Structure 1
Amino acid sequence: MAHSLRHWFCAIPAGFLLLVLSGCSPLKMLNGLTPDGSYVKTADIVYGEDPRQKLDVYVPRHLLEDAPVAVFFYGGSWNSGDRGDYRFVGEALASRGIVTVVADYRLYPQVRYPLFLEDGARAVAWTKAHIHEFSGNPRRLYLMGHSSGAYNASMLALDSRLLGAVGMSPADLSGWIGLAGPYDFLPIKNPEVRPVFFWPDSPPQSQPIRHVSHGAPPALLIAASRDSLVDPTRNTGGLARTLREAGVPVQDLYYARPNHATLVATMSRPLRWLAPVLDQVVAFIRHTPPQ
């Protein structure tokens, strides 16, 4: 059995390639392999007036009450992405007893910095106000994101003006988790990202690393050690060092097997062999107490 499972897992990358060539995206493949028995999903909840301002809530099926809550923001260079593609993240966290919110937000070219962050703040405010209706504990609230979504989570956790605009503060967060996040990326090299941040006049205050303060929430930063898209040494390592210097509890972890894209995919059941990302995220949430 162990040998056959290992053989099947090793064949997954080739399966991904075949599915991509046949028009099936890797995210759809992961969702297709994700069971639905561990959660109850409430979809298409409106948190704002724009069609993109919606979210889904994944509640552990056998949950009683007062569960920790994670709000997840996906990546996509701030110009693509859909919450429905990340059912595997909702299932992964819900299967471990965490109420999970997966939120859409407006994208470029509809909006630029900082409007998508304002959407994130509104989604977090909705969660704090309503998550008790889904057996979640608003005092155990964590933010999480991958790639540009990790940027969103970091800015909401570090730049107090964003949550302040919706009547909250970073002190309302128990912690935040960033997967392969860009936290210090000026000058911008990616041509798709440049217009999002008004290149060449990108505002310095758009960088999460500039908003670190002593009172910031605890952080778990995870990166692919050979990430060719977002430099893990400058971004994850640099932010972790800056947080430590400010006295903020932080753990940074680096894994060799995943790349930038597959780091979040390790949350899915078929790809957890690549790295124990889910285990680390769950341990952080369980062992980081409310602020």
Structure 2
Amino acid sequence: MRQAYGAILAALLLAAGAAPAVAVAAPARPFYRDPVHDGAADPVIVRDRRHGEWVMFYTNRRADLPREDERDVRWVHGTAIGVARSADGAHWRYEGTAAIPPACTGATLWAPEVQWLAGRWHMWLTVVPGVFRDWNAPRFIVHLTSDDLKQWQCGERLDLGSDRVIDASVNALPGGGWRLYFNDERQNKAIRQADSDDLVHWRLGPRLTETPGEGPKAFRWRGRWWLVSDAWKGLLVMSSRDGERWSTQPDYLLADAGRDPTDRAKGQHPDVVVSGKRAWIVYFVHQSGEDEARRDPEWGRRSVLQIAELHRRGDALVADRTTPTALPRP
């Protein structure tokens, strides 16, 4: 049922000056599947240079939790942040859940954003203070720091002018300082931005989208800024030469289903990993296309992570979700 891809990757190069990467066998689909609740979503992947590994943090949805009825969404609440590691960018081992202090967070943790900035690891994490049967609850973003990607220390709760903000993405600005992209649910699920000089205090900026969405991911690649967000019908792609004036790609990325049984739905809430001139998008997919869904009407709540290489065509991004690929060896 789950097809293995036996293709061998060509040798991948890391950033300029790095040693050539070693070719590895492409993994079987999916790229990653949570072994506990089978609901991996909202990934972020970073390089742990100390141990020479990739580290992935993700929302650990409880896709196996029985529901009282179709409106019961407790299964996407009460969620921890899952952790997995990979030495080769292709094969992942589950490491349990992140050591997030409950004192500054809550019962429900979503959408981690992790970056090495200003000499430390930083995490911005969406928090829902409880387990709810519906979507009517406050949500906020907290900032945490770590020296080792394992033990996290409480920082501040971000003041972003709304009681319903989720899904942080943070970039360093070329002239100094940092920019935060996030989803403000009180503004029709708009993607907004805020700037900071110290990673603690944020100045609210403009609304960037009219199309409702969530899960923004901002990155610089091949001479442009890119902003990808989950519009629930594929990924909305925006690009900019200066990070200030944005144009919107007319078509949606990963809107059409892939061919593999575990990739037969639209791509959602991604991360993007850039290595030199190459970039990969890691996204989650609901599993209504698996054979098990024919027998179990609840199977479609399950979700896995998939990977595709990104390519630039003019001012547009395209993703090849049918060719086997993996991240370069770290």
Is this a same-fold pair by TM over 0.5? no
The structure with more helix, counted as a fraction of residues: 1
* TM-score of the pair, normalised by structure 1: 0.33
Larger radius of gyration: 2
The structure with more strand, counted as a fraction of residues: 2
* TM-score of the pair, normalised by structure 2: 0.30
